[in-house]
Structure 1
Amino acid sequence: MDPFEVDMNKAFQKFAKDIIPSDEELKKANVSADRIIKLLQTKSKFDIDRVCIAGSTGKKLTIIGSDIDCVLFINDERPKFEDVLDDFEDILTMTDSFNDKDMKKTPYSIQFKAFGLKFDVLPAANFTKGLQLQGDSLINTQQQRVLAHIKQDPKKYGYMYSSSLAEAAVRFMKRQDGFVNEMVRIAKFWFKTLHFNDLRNRSGGKNCIELIAVYAAKQEENMETKSYLRSFKRFMDYLKNFDNLNIHFETDDDKDRPRVMDPVNPYNNLAKNWTKSIHLLKDYANESNKRLQSLADSRRARLDELFEPQPVYRPNMHGQWIVGVDTETFSRLPDLKIRNKHFDTDELRRGLETLKDHFQSAVLASGASSCDENQIREVLTKMISREIYNSNSTWYPSNAKHEDCDVTFTIPSPNEKAIQISYRL
């Protein structure tokens, strides 16, 4: 194997572990989700049969900053669940102890932040009411009955009943091997560095990225040695040629393209909702391929350069900055502290959240999160120079204290210490 590929494989393998939240954060997520679920089970006027932690958390694919998907199976109700969502929203907004904020009701879920974490609460239709089933028997029966219902009108029900198949989706991913899971985490991180809302918020967007990554990684099964680099390049190639994607896991019929078929719902083509914006994703994949080639030409295994955010985000924040590693653990500090009301508007808050993601990506991709404070400061000051000042010149941070600043960002590192970056006008 080429020495560059060996170095890149080592970097990818380490990175796939670095982007997993700490044990403390994972425990906090599970405890917090349990509190929210128990509240809804106790207070809701609807009959909740059972619950499922789905998404990245349920699939064991969590990366730092992932949402927590809580799926609640409701007896005797069917989508679109308007009344159920209204009921859940009332319960959550009337509970002060969760300190929830940024609550948003979508056609299929309630999204909000609580306990410093992002939650997505989704109702689902229960098709196994009254049956004494568990494990695979329960999942299989639920899946069969949901698909039978979708078959009556696939165009209408194909996506609408996705949450009702959450248990089967979690099981599918849990059956993949460790290499596939690691490549999915890497792909999810790459997608997280693409800062444009249109694609990210598309129905099934994250699931589509996951499945393309699964398909790319599974092509390594017959290789003598599995290669992270080769798998990532294959993932990029699929995205570059999105128009011709033909990804499926159970069937081999050749239908219209592009298609990325949901492995637990053959009526749900996850690629179909992206047609208006897919040129952006293809452009980003092309740029990542160029970066890979540049790294290969110079024989440098630098994931921080590969995962630099796209497109560059340059807010007008040419004031004073400070960077440091706090002695507190990340979970004990707010991830975004705004002290100046000038910044506390919806538009500016969204921009600050984007910038926070940039900081987190820069630290994780550089590997500096496991290094000392001086190396972390170097990574972040260079990133601020590029992203804020559009200059590679040396930047000297302010000596001000964090509490004296207008805004403080707090991002986690795998060693559980909090990295704080502050700004003041």
Structure 2
Amino acid sequence: MEPLWDGRRKELELLLKEFGVSLKCPEKFYEEGSALAEEVFKILQQKSKYTFAGRYKGGSFGKKTDVLEADLDLVVVCNRVHLPLKEVLDDFEKVLTLYGKELKIKENSIKKTERSLYFCFDNLIEVDLLPAVYIHNQEDIWKKIEMDPKNSFYYNPSFVDKQIAFLKCQPGDTHTLIRLVKYWFKNLYFEKHVMGGSAMMELISVAAVGQKNWGKGPRPLTMLKAFHKALDIIANLDSLRLAFSLKGGSKWKRLSDAELHLQNTNISDIVPKVIGLQTTLEKKCFIIDPANPFQNFLDEGMNSADVIQKMKTFATETQNTLKEIERDVKLHGTKFLLALFKPHPAALTNLTTLLLPNYVTIDYDYPYSSPYCDMEVRKQEVVTDRKMKNAMKALKRRLLSAINAVAKGNPDKFTATDIENVVNECVKTSFELNDDLATVKRDGHEEMDITLSIPYKLCRQPYAVRFSMKWE
């Protein structure tokens, strides 16, 4: 194919960059989230029986790589605790339950998992609270992980400061690229949970940028080139060997294949040389967490071969789509973004394995004041039955992607009709191999099992798409 002419390249470059910037959560999210988090930290510090060595706002919030419906990851580093942290979680749950009203935590929203506490504030910001083991001597922790690598994931919160520092030092528009790649990833369906999915997208985006300078040199790196490169990396995921090493100060460098073979990974060596287990480095593919060098996101214990294969397939499909549509001069603005980030066909994503709803009710321009998604559950089975819950989550992600491609891709010119059209197309694509969907209605939300509210702004006025579902 002929190369893109300069005008078209510049148009798409600006479009992708502006769209990537727009995916960042609103400032209100940062302001409210930070204030509420500080109150939680304060109460836990005063009322918990454990003492703290540190507290962090981690995850995409702390790393500034949030995309749209981000949650708030809070990490509390505790003194003199050991894995597993069940007793710490029990203690934190008691404190938060007792002071929930004062902390503006939504009633009955606190849920405990094996490693964290989930809850939701009254303003709809969702939270994952993770206790962490205090690391006094890093080598001691790494020895423990080396002896029991299957539990390395439990130590992740202990490295939260290093996770934040790694991304903080990345150059130029790397964070914007990360948002684009994570936005693409969030629209995919894998049938099972992808462990460390967002973190993988961050590291792959950093690798796509490499040592190049944004917009400098004879062949400057652009957002379009970087996005292409990230897709290429994911399309070849089963041969990717990705690891980083700290090169003085706060500068990180991706290690070449030759350097990976030369590394001596004995724990007794100098700590900066430790980048992973020898058994990991001998594998065909790996993505090693720079903060926790014994965690490999492509390890069979974290993500299976079929998940990796699906990522490869999705990236290849998107790469082919991008090559086609970037040369279609009829596709501008929102049309280009919708074509690029459109949901993959139901056949490819195996959506037919989900228990999709039989009835759908949609209100396309519902007056709505919150910048956060809401979920009204009228039938508890929807959030407890695995097949129903996965169907709801898959449809929600598809709707989020489609709505924001319109609302953020062309913020000053889209109409309510544009929102209606893109939502209808999303529903049509999602149910194309399913004959059980009844006629889509615009009213009767209260009769449905669950209602999702997905916010957007039209002419600076807040609205939401209300999407209700019912199963027979």
Taking structure 2 as the reference length, what is the TM-score of the superposition? 0.76
Measured after TM superposition, the shift of residue 75 of structure 1 is 0.8
What is the aligned partner in structure 2 of residue 386 from structure 1?
429
What is the aligned partner in structure 2 of residue 410 from structure 1?
453
Please say if 1:282 is aligned against 2:312.
Answer: yes
State the SS of the aligned residue for 2:18: helix
Task: Identify the match of residue 146 of structure 2 among 123, 137, 154.
Answer: 154
Equivalent residues of 1:69, 1:121 under 8 A apart: yes
Equivalent residues of 1:146, 1:161 under 8 A apart: no
Measured after TM superposition, the shift of residue 401 of structure 1 is 6.5
Distance of 1:388 and 1:101 partners within structure 2: 33
Task: Identify the match of residue 61 of structure 2 among 52, 57, 60.
Answer: 57
What is the aligned partner in structure 1 of residue 364 from structure 2?
324
What is the aligned partner in structure 2 of residue 125 from structure 1?
133
Equivalent residues of 1:339, 1:405 under 8 A apart: yes
What is the aligned partner in structure 2 of residue 138 from structure 1?
none
Report 1:33-72 matches (<5 A).
Answer: 33-72=37-76
Supply the AA of the counterpart residue of 2:19.
F
Task: Identify the match of residue 89 of structure 2 among 85, 90, 93.
Answer: 85
Distance of 1:76 and 1:65 partners within structure 2: 35
Task: Identify the match of residue 215 of structure 1 among 190, 196, 207.
Answer: 207
Report 1:238-387 matches (<5 A).
Answer: 238-250=233-245, 251=255, 252-254=259-261, 255-256=281-282, 257-272=284-299, 273-276=302-305, 277-299=307-329, 300=331, 302-310=336-344, 311=349, 313=351, 316-317=356-357, 319=359, 321-331=361-371, 335-339=374-378, 343=382, 345-347=384-386, 348-366=388-406, 367=409, 371-387=414-430
Distance of 2:42 and 2:290 partners within structure 1: 30
Give the aligned CA root-mean-square deviation in angstroms. Answer: 3.0
Equivalent residues of 2:361, 2:445 under 8 A apart: no
Supply the AA of the counterpart residue of 1:271.
L
Structure 1 residues 263 and 382 mapped into 2: Cα distance closer, same or farther (>3 Å)? same
Equivalent residues of 2:343, 2:426 under 8 A apart: no
Structure 1 residues 245 and 21 mapped into 2: Cα distance closer, same or farther (>3 Å)? same
State the SS of the aligned residue for 1:262: coil
Equivalent residues of 1:67, 1:118 under 8 A apart: yes
Equivalent residues of 1:369, 1:376 under 8 A apart: no
Measured after TM superposition, the shift of residue 368 of structure 1 is 5.4
Equivalent residues of 2:12, 2:326 under 8 A apart: no
Report 1:62-211 matches (<5 A).
Answer: 62-97=66-101, 98-99=105-106, 103-115=110-122, 116-127=124-135, 145-151=137-143, 153-156=145-148, 158-196=152-190, 198-200=192-194, 202=195, 204-211=196-203
Structure 1 residues 49 and 282 mapped into 2: Cα distance closer, same or farther (>3 Å)? same
Distance of 2:392 and 2:364 partners within structure 1: 18
Distance of 1:120 and 1:268 partners within structure 2: 21
Distance of 2:400 and 2:106 partners within structure 1: 24
Supply the AA of the counterpart residue of 1:309.
P
How many matched pairs?
403
Equivalent residues of 2:50, 2:78 under 8 A apart: yes
Supply the AA of the counterpart residue of 1:34.
E
Measured after TM superposition, the shift of residue 249 of structure 1 is 2.3
Which shifted more, 322-331 or 6-15?
A: 322-331
What is the aligned partner in structure 2 of residue 131 from structure 1?
none
Distance of 2:38 and 2:131 partners within structure 1: 16
Distance of 2:240 and 2:90 partners within structure 1: 38
State the SS of the aligned residue for 2:338: helix
Structure 1 residues 198 and 350 mapped into 2: Cα distance closer, same or farther (>3 Å)? closer
Which shifted more, 88-97 or 239-248?
A: 88-97
Gaps of 5+ in 1: 129-144
Distance of 1:401 and 1:123 partners within structure 2: 43
What is the aligned partner in structure 1 of residue 231 from structure 2?
236
Distance of 1:100 and 1:172 partners within structure 2: 37
Supply the AA of the counterpart residue of 2:235.
K
Which shifted more, 64-73 or 310-319?
A: 310-319
Supply the AA of the counterpart residue of 1:362.
A
For residues 107-135 of structure 1, what are the alpha-carbon distances to aligned partners after superposition, in whole Å with 9 as ceiling and x for unaligned? 4322343332222211112235xxxxxxx
Task: Identify the match of residue 32 of structure 1 among 36, 47, 58.
Answer: 36
Supply the AA of the counterpart residue of 1:358.
R
What is the aligned partner in structure 2 of residue 133 from structure 1?
none
Supply the AA of the counterpart residue of 2:328.
S
State the SS of the aligned residue for 1:265: coil
Equivalent residues of 1:405, 1:422 under 8 A apart: no
Equivalent residues of 1:47, 1:75 under 8 A apart: yes
State the SS of the aligned residue for 1:77: coil
Measured after TM superposition, the shift of residue 95 of structure 1 is 4.6
Distance of 2:203 and 2:461 partners within structure 1: 30
Distance of 2:429 and 2:191 partners within structure 1: 22
Q: What fraction of aligned residue pairs are identical, expressed as a percent? A: 24
Distance of 2:107 and 2:340 partners within structure 1: 35
Equivalent residues of 1:101, 1:114 under 8 A apart: no
Gaps of 5+ in 2: 246-254, 262-280
Distance of 2:368 and 2:159 partners within structure 1: 40
Supply the AA of the counterpart residue of 2:228.
K
Measured after TM superposition, the shift of residue 198 of structure 1 is 2.5
Equivalent residues of 1:330, 1:410 under 8 A apart: no
Measured after TM superposition, the shift of residue 235 of structure 1 is 0.9
Distance of 1:290 and 1:237 partners within structure 2: 10
Measured after TM superposition, the shift of residue 46 of structure 1 is 1.1
Taking structure 1 as the reference length, what is the TM-score of the superposition? 0.83
